[in-house]
DNA sequence: CTGCAGGGGTAAA
DNA sequence: TTTACCCCTGCA
């Protein structure tokens, strides 16, 4: 275990704000999860981030980037705050959130599962997907850990094979996505560099992927910070809090603004009563 | 206990 | 623009 000094960062906000679904808070307040095929545990105490399960070299080469600890979010937050007073308030409220650099396929698959669904159930489906089709990586404390299954693995299955994960009508979407990704018809890494509209169009070739899931994949899986996913909460937030602004008004860090507004709105539902 | 609306969307009508 | 969709949960 070792410590990393992280400012403008809130671990719990970051891992529990709905952008990732495999992190579990432990009794001691730490977060345990699997990403990039590895088991890891993070714990925050003030600006100290304690890392267990990886050495410093692995942290520097992988996890620091995963948590997006490199960019100066303090500066980004300040720039965004000048745009609108309510955004300033949201940015202060949710300012510890960082946009994770998740694996693209995992993000795509997770946000297909997220549609017309709630977070506890999304987490359950993702967990059963990993349990049934991922690879067991470690055995510890009588717990088992599984990787997120690859697109290649899922591509070889049928929707019926997925019945144990209880994804419902989304099962065939998952298969379709896996087949297109595994075959190379959809190349997530090349989508990373495309114009937003073209990138969306590529992702929407997948059955069950519309604008919202495409945008979530771009922001959370391909780190396109200019992408501004609009779900029902964000549509409400735009109408009530930012009636004079459009998503593109938030600029190249619109995705971060979106995450601040989203988290702020979820934590203040009373703003949207009536 | 049973019934039903609705959930961080999408595709088809 | 409206509706069904598989499944689960919360609440009459």
What is the span of the domain harbouring residue A61? Answer: 2-70
**Separation between Cα atoms, residue A214 and residue A163, nearest integer Å:** 24
Is A93 in contact with A264 (CB distance < 8 Å)? yes
- Asked if residue A120 and residue A66 are part of one domain, the reply reads no
**Has residue A273 got a pLDDT over 90?**
no
Q: In the listed set A23, A51, A70, which residue is the last one of a domain according to the structure?
A: A70
Count CB-CB contacts under 10 A for residue A266: 13
- Asked if residue A121 and residue A208 are part of one domain, the reply reads yes
Listed range (A92-101, A213-222, A260-269) with the worst mean pLDDT? A260-269
Q: Residue A270's pLDDT is what?
A: 85
Cα distances from A119 to residues A10, A91, A155, A191, A271, in angstroms, run 20, 23, 25, 27, 21
- Domain assignment present for A266: no
- Asked if residue A189 and residue A134 are part of one domain, the reply reads yes
A7 CB contacts (<8 Å, ≥6 apart)? A47, A74
- Asked if residue A120 and residue A170 are part of one domain, the reply reads yes
Reported as a pLDDT band with limits 50, 70 and 90, residue A239 is very high
Vertex A160: Cα angle to A154 and A166 (nearest 5): 85
Q: Residue A274's pLDDT is what?
A: 60
Q: Residue A272's pLDDT is what?
A: 83
- Asked if residue A42 and residue A113 are part of one domain, the reply reads no
- Domain assignment present for A57: yes
Q: Hey, which residues does A226 pair with through a beta bridge?
A: none
- Domain assignment present for A233: no
Domain count, chain A: 2
- Domain assignment present for A190: yes
User: Which residues numbered 41-80 in chain A sit less than 7 A from strand C, measured from CB?
Assistant: none
Percent of chain A with pLDDT over 70: 99
- Domain assignment present for A86: no
Reported as a pLDDT band with limits 50, 70 and 90, residue A37 is very high
- Asked if residue A108 and residue A217 are part of one domain, the reply reads yes
**Has residue A141 got a pLDDT over 80?**
no
Q: What is the mean pLDDT of residues A124-143?
A: 89
Three state DSSP letters for A166-188: CCHHHHHHHHHHHHHHHHCCCCH
Q: Please, what is the average pLDDT of chain A?
A: 95
Q: Residue A7's pLDDT is what?
A: 97
CATH code of the domain containing A210: 1.10.340.30
- Asked if residue A140 and residue A192 are part of one domain, the reply reads yes
The answer to whether the pTM exceeds 0.95 is: yes
Is A133 in contact with A163 (CB distance < 8 Å)? no
- Asked if residue A112 and residue A59 are part of one domain, the reply reads no
**Separation between Cα atoms, residue A144 and residue A162, nearest integer Å:** 20
Cα distances from A214 to residues A206, A253, A259, A262, in angstroms, run 9, 17, 16, 17
pLDDT tens track for A142-191: 788 999 999 999 999 999 999 999 999 999 999 999 999 999 999 999 99
- Domain assignment present for A66: yes
- Asked if residue A213 and residue A114 are part of one domain, the reply reads yes
- Asked if residue A131 and residue A212 are part of one domain, the reply reads yes
Confirm whether any atom of chain C, the nucleic acid strand, is less than 7 Å from CB of A169. yes
Identify the three-state secondary structure at position A240. helix
CATH code of the domain containing A46: 3.30.310.260
Six token digits for residue A175: 């298969």
Confirm whether any atom of chain C, the nucleic acid strand, is less than 7 Å from CB of A166. yes
- Domain assignment present for A249: no
pLDDT tens track for A39-93: 999 999 999 999 999 999 999 999 999 999 999 999 999 999 999 999 999 999 9
- Domain assignment present for A195: yes
Which residue is the nearest neighbor of C8, CA to C1'? A121
- Asked if residue A194 and residue A123 are part of one domain, the reply reads yes
- Asked if residue A66 and residue A15 are part of one domain, the reply reads yes
Residue with structure tokens 């001691």?
A28
Confirm whether any atom of chain C, the nucleic acid strand, is less than 7 Å from CB of A207. no
**Has residue A138 got a pLDDT over 80?**
no
If we measure between CA atoms, which residue out of A108, A76, A69 comes closest to residue A192? A108
Q: What is the mean pLDDT of residues A133-139?
A: 89
**Has residue A99 got a pLDDT over 70?**
yes
Rg of chain A (C-alpha set): 18
Identify the three-state secondary structure at position A35. strand
Instruction: Strand B: list positions under 7 Å from protein Cβ.
Output: 7-11
**Separation between Cα atoms, residue A192 and residue A138, nearest integer Å:** 32
């Amino acid at each position: 275990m070792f410590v990393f000094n992280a400012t403008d960062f809130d671990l719990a906000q970051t891992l529990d704000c709905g952008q990732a679904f495999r992190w579990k808070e432990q009794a001691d307040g730490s977060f345990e999860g699997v990403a990039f095929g590895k088991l890891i545990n993070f714990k925050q105490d003030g600006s100290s981030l304690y890392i267990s399960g990886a050495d410093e070299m692995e942290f520097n080469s992988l996890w620091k980037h995963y948590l997006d600890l490199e960019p100066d979010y303090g500066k980004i937050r300040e720039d965004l705050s000048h745009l609108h007073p309510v955004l300033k308030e949201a940015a202060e409220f949710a300012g510890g959130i960082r946009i994770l650099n998740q694996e693209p396929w995992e993000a795509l698959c997770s946000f297909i599962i997220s549609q017309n669904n709630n977070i506890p159930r999304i987490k359950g489906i993702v967990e059963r997907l990993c349990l049934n089709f991922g690879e067991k990586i470690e055995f510890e404390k009588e717990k088992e850990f599984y990787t997120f299954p690859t697109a290649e693995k899922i591509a070889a299955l049928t929707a019926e094979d997925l019945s144990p994960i209880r994804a419902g009508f989304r099962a065939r979407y998952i298969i379709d996505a896996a087949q297109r990704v595994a075959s190379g018809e959809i190349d997530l890494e090349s989508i990373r560099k495309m114009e937003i509209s073209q990138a969306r169009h590529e992702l929407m070739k997948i059955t069950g992927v519309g604008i919202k899931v495409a945008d979530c994949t771009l922001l959370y899986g391909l780190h396109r910070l200019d992408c501004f996913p609009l779900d029902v909460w964000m549509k409400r937030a735009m109408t009530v809090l930012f009636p004079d602004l459009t998503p593109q008004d938030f600029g190249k860090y619109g995705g971060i603004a979106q995450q601040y507004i989203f988290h702020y709105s979820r934590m203040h539902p009373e703003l949207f009563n009536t």
